[in-house]
Structure 1
Amino acid sequence: MPGPKDLDPSSSPRALLGAELRHAREQQGLSQTELGEPLFVSGSFIGQLEAGTRRMQLEYAVHIDEILGTGGFFVRNCQALAKSKYPDHFAEAAEAEAIAVTIKEYAQMLIPGLLQTKGYAAAVFRAYKPTAPATEIGESVAARLERAHVLDDPTTPLLWAILDEAVLHRMVGGGPVMAEALRHVAELIRKHRIIVQVLPFGSGAHASMTGALKLMEFEDAPPLSFVEGPDMGRLLDDPATVARHTLTFNLLQATALSPQDSLALLESVAQDYEHGQPQP
């Protein structure tokens, strides 16, 4: 009987690999827990691999091929999937984001990547990499804009963003770039595609003073949270940690301006940028 064919890593790669894992496991008559035991992982972790919300690491692929008798299939495809257009610390989160049904994000310093315009993204990447060739910056911008295609669907995922007021006033790329970026966010709000709240300076201390936060929910897998810093990021699935981060986001929602007042503030600041008025 022929083995499974290698997957096309350009077409929902983790979901395809996960479907093949589920098929191979069921062919062997193993439960998720039974497959996880010799790997020293939980059955829920195997479920996340099958749902495509977690990336399969090479060390697991080697043992899975041995246990399921798949002739190196998972090793080959795991290595192919390791080639990502995103930085290593963010690749797994970007792939999970692409299949999430709900994304909730608190942005502390900059407009979230899914909502950035080309000019804004280019200014951000140039600040990250001041000596990088223009081609490298262009590739990074293209990858970021490609991520935003998850919003092409009119309803899924639900995206709820909370922007610290600092995001509005930190001039990234100059006044015209900021005006365009904020107008873009406002347009998505007015199209009822996203929900955005602004956390005002006047709110004082709040539940996420130490950094940004992203939460992702899925149809058939447990939720994940993602936290990051300079050149590092962690995708977290520990239920207690995700629950704590969910509470953090809920507290931010309660403290932020209403969506209506937030839209008014966004458009007011965009207008100031358009008229060349300095920001505080």
Structure 2
Amino acid sequence: MGATSGGKGRPVFTTDGADKARWDGDLDNDSSAVMRAVGRQIKVWREEAGLTQTELGSGIGYGVDMVSAVERGYRLPKPEFLDKADHVLGARGKIAAMTRDVVEARYPKKVRHLAKLEREAVELGAYGNHNLHGLLQTEEYTRALFGMRRPAYSEDEIEQQVAARMGRQEIFTRQPAPLLTFVQEEVTLRRPLGGRMVLRRQLEHLLEVGHLRHVEIQVMPTSREDHAGMGGQLQLLKLQDGTGVGHWEGQLCSLLLSDPKEVLILEMRYGILRSRALTPRESLAFIEKLLGET
């Protein structure tokens, strides 16, 4: 869990944008410990197999720089890296067995609990007013977003943040499928973060995701004169036991809200937002129009 805020004992998490409250953005200690442990194991198995870093890299389809960074605990390997290394080094599942620890370590400490709740949710609703919601972002868009963070992230921090956000998108293929609804401000579909081609591919991705049967994306036109989302972006999660959790976004921090009265307020606002936005079908047509103009 993260730090607490306002004396109410409520967990504080970093925002879904590209920020966090610390100036020095070092990787979490527990994530770093996992990275070092995984790196040591891979090095031991590689040396036991009599392979150089270059030879291992060639065998698993990665460059020597990546192998070196993993072994030194500077980079968190992807699951496929572990699977291929396990096969090439003849580890008989011992390297692949670290996949779960690596997956958990992808998530920065302050969003780890939020990611866990998303995995358990049967329904998720989110409103984005400044950038596209993290679950809807392409890898290029996410990398551009974290790359423009000030103070700047290091390359390793950007990679960790990107991997964590992409990992959260497993929610789209989970079975049974949760109901996922999104309301996005029109400006978030027009702002070319990362450049015009990044935006084009992002719009194409939205159309692909928006056609999934358990996903509804709605666009909030800028021309709307009455708006229930002036308090900022938000997220609502309905869990298997019927309880609801709210996630409120701020500039340097965000809150997970479990008080039923507070969650009810967010649900009310989100319901009004959905009623004022374009319908899902109208929204997909709107996105297609923007794609043609981009």
The one-letter code matched in structure 2 to 1:199 is M
**What residue number does 2:119 align with?**
98
C-alpha displacement of 1:205: 3.3
Q: Which residue of 2 aligns with 1:188?
A: 209
Specify the alignment match of 1:173 in structure 2. 194
Q: Where in structure 2 are the equivalents of 1:128-207 lying within 5 Å?
A: 128-129=149-150, 131-153=152-174, 156-207=177-228
Distance 1:271 1:165 in 2: 15
Q: One-letter code of the match for 1:166?
A: V
1:257: which partner in 2?
278
Distance 2:210 2:280 in 1: 9
The alignment covers a number of residue pairs equal to: 194
Q: Deviations over 1:112-131 (max 9, x none)?
A: 11111110000111112563
- Compute the displacement of 1:207 (Å): 0.6
Let me know the Cα RMSD of the aligned residues: 2.2
The AA in structure 2 aligned to 1:165 is E
What does the per-residue CA deviation read over 1:45-100, in whole Å, with 9 as the maximum and x for residues that have no partner?
xxxxxxxxxxxxxxxxxxxxxxxxxxxxxxxxxxx9xx854344433222211110
8 Å CA contact 2:128–2:183 kept in 1: the answer is yes
> 1:190–1:154: structure 2 CA closer, same or farther, 3 Å change rule?
farther
The aligned residue for residue 229 of structure 2 is 208
Tell me by how many angstroms 1:135 deviates.
2.4
Q: Which runs of 5+ in 2 are unaligned?
A: 2-8, 10-100
Report SS of the residue matched to 1:128. coil
- Choose the corresponding residue for 2:251, options 207, 210, 230: 230
Q: Distance in 1 between matches of 2:160 and 2:108?
A: 12
Give the AA of the match of 2:219: V
Determine if contact 2:107/2:160 at 8 Å carries over to the other structure. Answer: no
Q: Which one scores higher on RCO, CA 8 angstroms, separation ≥ 6?
A: 2
Query: Residue type of the partner of 1:127?
Result: M
Measured against aligned partners, the alpha-carbon deviations of 1:119-167 in whole angstroms (never above 9, x if no partner) come to 0000111112563322221221111101101111365221100001111
CA displacement at 1:232 relative to structure 2: 0.9
Residues of 1 paired with 2:276 and 2:262: CA distance? 21
| Contact in 1 for aligned 2:184/2:219 (Cα 8 Å) | yes
Give the 4+ runs in structure 1 shifted more than 6 A: none
TM-score w.r.t. the length of structure 2 is 0.62
Q: Letter of the 1:254 partner, please give it.
A: S
Residue in structure 2 matched with residue 25 of structure 1 by the alignment: none
Give, as a single letter, the amino acid of the residue that structure 2 aligns with 1:252: L
Q: Deviations over 1:155-189 (max 9, x none)?
A: 52211000011111111111110111111111111
